[in-house]
Amino acid sequence: MTPFHTRQCLTWLMMLVVAGILFYADRQLPRMGDPRSPASTHVSPYYIEHSHHETGAPNFVTAVLADYRGYDTLGETTVIFTAGLACLLILGVELGRVSQGEE
Amino acid sequence: MRTPFGSSILDAACRLPVPFIILFAVYVVIHGHHSPGGGFQGGAILAATLILIRMVRGEDDPWGLDRTRAAILASCGVGLYAGIGLLTLVFGGNYLDYSVLPLPLVPEKVRFMGTLGIEIGVALGVTGVLVLIFDALTAGETQESDDGK
pTM across the whole model: 0.79
Q: Is B36 helix (H, G, I), strand (E, B) or coil?
A: coil
Q: Which domain holds residue B139?
A: 8-148
Q: Tell me whether A67 touches chain B (CB under 8 Å).
A: yes
Contacts of B122 in chain A (CB under 8 A): 73, 77
Residue B2 falls inside a structural domain: no
Domain count, chain B: 1
> A55-69 pLDDT, tens per residue?
878 888 888 888 888
Domain annotation covers residue B126: yes
Q: Which of B38, B82, B95 sits opposite A62 (nearest CB)?
A: B38
Q: What CA–CA distance (Å, rounded) separates A47 from A61?
A: 10
Look at residue B13 and tell me if it is in a domain.
yes
Q: Show pLDDT as tens, one digit a residue, over chain B (149 residues).
A: 556 666 788 888 888 899 999 999 999 998 888 888 888 999 999 999 998 888 888 776 777 778 888 899 999 999 999 999 999 999 888 888 888 888 888 877 888 888 899 999 999 999 999 999 988 888 765 555 444 43
* Per-position b or e across B105-133, b if 16+ CB within 10 A of its CB: eebbebbbebbbbbbbbbbbbbbbbbbbb
Do the domain assignments include residue B3? no
ipTM: 0.81
Question: Does any domain span residue B76?
Answer: yes
Is B71 part of a structural domain of the chain?
yes
B1 in any annotated domain: no
